[in-house]
Amino acid sequence: MAVILDGKKLRDKIFANLKAKTDSMPVKPTLAVILAGDNPSSIIYVNNKKKCAEKLGINSTVITYSSDVKESELLNKVNELNNNKNVTAILVQLPLPEHINQFNIIDAIAPEKDVDGLTTYNSGKLFSGEKPFVYPCTPKGIMLLLDEYGIEIEGKHAVVIGRSNLVGKPVAQMLLNRNATVTMCHSKTKNLSDITKTADILISAVGKKIIGENMLKNNCVVIDVGIFRDDRGKISGDVDFEAASKIASYITPVPGGVGPMTIASLMLNTVELAANS
């Protein structure tokens, strides 16, 4: 049976270290979150981020807008936060309402306050193999989890399913920077299972139940980034967990795997940006 990659346990360890760090900081970090629209998942995520920040002695402020907010209003707010010396980290919750060009908004964030590492500056640094101010939260959380369990990355075949800017692309690049051989798959990939069966490390970030036991290589490492409610309303991931646990050597549960590591990374990034400011 596969070893469970316990994201909650590692998150708690990271939080304990972070609390000790913020306790010793004369000026506490301040995270500003922009939330536009009424996406129910986004509201839950943002509340959770705020609660975690408070627990760790990080100041946080959430600025909300209705779904018909103008792009210029968001740009003005980002500029104001960039110029506010008390604000050390800025997060624009995604997705933004459809009429807003999210790249314009993200790229308005000062790179040294870009806590998601999503600006062109920070992603450019990541993709050229240089150090960005911080790494995107979910990919960083995945790498921390792999490292915590001593999982070797160099020379391994990592297969990433999903090509989003938040997860798929940056995690593929981070694995490549650690000398994995990386294959990217996506919705138009043909013969997906032929590829996944060759994965030493499989990272699925799709949001649909797509990975069954006949798609896995013996003793592979399975990282399930998907989280959604199934037909019966139960929280589920991309991977058939029961079946995959019998084949994989390590696997993340959903919930309790990647999710807690995303928030742990956000808090780490927030403290890092403040420490370097």
State in Å, rounded, how far the first CA of the chain is from the last one: 45
DSSP lists the bridge partners of residue 240 as none
Dihedral sign (CA 89, 72, 126, 137): positive
Binding-site member from 4, 43, 75, 94 for ligand GUN (CB under 6 A): 94
Among 60-68, 88-96, 206-214, 236-244, the segment contacting ligand GUN (CB under 6 A):
88-96
Q: State the Cα torsion 203-208-209-214 to the nearest 10°.
A: -50
CB 184 within 8 A of CB 168: yes
CB of 162 to ligand GUN, least distance (A): 13
Cis amide linkage into residue 95, ω under 30° from 0:
yes
Beta carbon nearer to ligand GUN, 41 or 198: 41
Q: Contact between 137 and ligand GUN (CB under 6 A)? A: yes
Q: Check 6, 102, 114, 116 and give the catalytic one.
A: 116
Looking only at the bridges linking them, the beta strands covering 201-204 and 181-185 are: unpaired
How many residues touch ligand GUN under the rule CB under 6 A: the total is 9
Contact residue for ligand GUN among 88, 93, 173, 245 (CB under 6 A):
93
**30 or 138: CB nearest ligand GUN:** 138
Nearest distance from C-beta of residue 92 to ligand GUN, angstroms: 6
Give the tokens for residue 98: 């459809």
Q: Please tell me which residue in 6, 77, 93, 140 is annotated as part of the active site.
A: 93
Of 182, 194, 114, 121, nearest in space to 153 by CA: 182
| Nearer of residues 109 and 248 to ligand GUN, judged by Cβ | 109
Query: Of the listed 49, 113, 156, 169, which one is catalytic?
Result: 49
Tokens of 179: 């000398």
Residue whose C-alpha is closest to residue 170's, from 211, 204, 113, 126: 126
In the annotation, is 93 catalytic? Answer: yes
Restricted to residues 141-200, the positions that interact with ligand GUN (CB under 6 A) are 166
Work out which of 91, 160, 271, 273 binds ligand GUN, going by CB under 6 A.
Answer: 91
In the complex with ligand GUN, the residue whose CB is nearer, 118 or 244, is 118
**Residue at shortest CB range from ligand GUN:** 94
Q: Is 116 a catalytic residue?
A: yes
Q: CA 140, CA 7: separation in Å to the nearest integer? A: 12
**Residue whose structure tokens are 């975690």:** 52
Kindly identify the residues of this chain, within the stretch 232-261, that bind ligand GUN according to CB under 6 A. none
**Tokens found for residue 123:** 């992603």
Q: Where do contacts with ligand GUN occur on this chain (CB under 6 A)?
A: 91-94, 116, 137-138, 166, 262
Active site members: 49, 93, 116
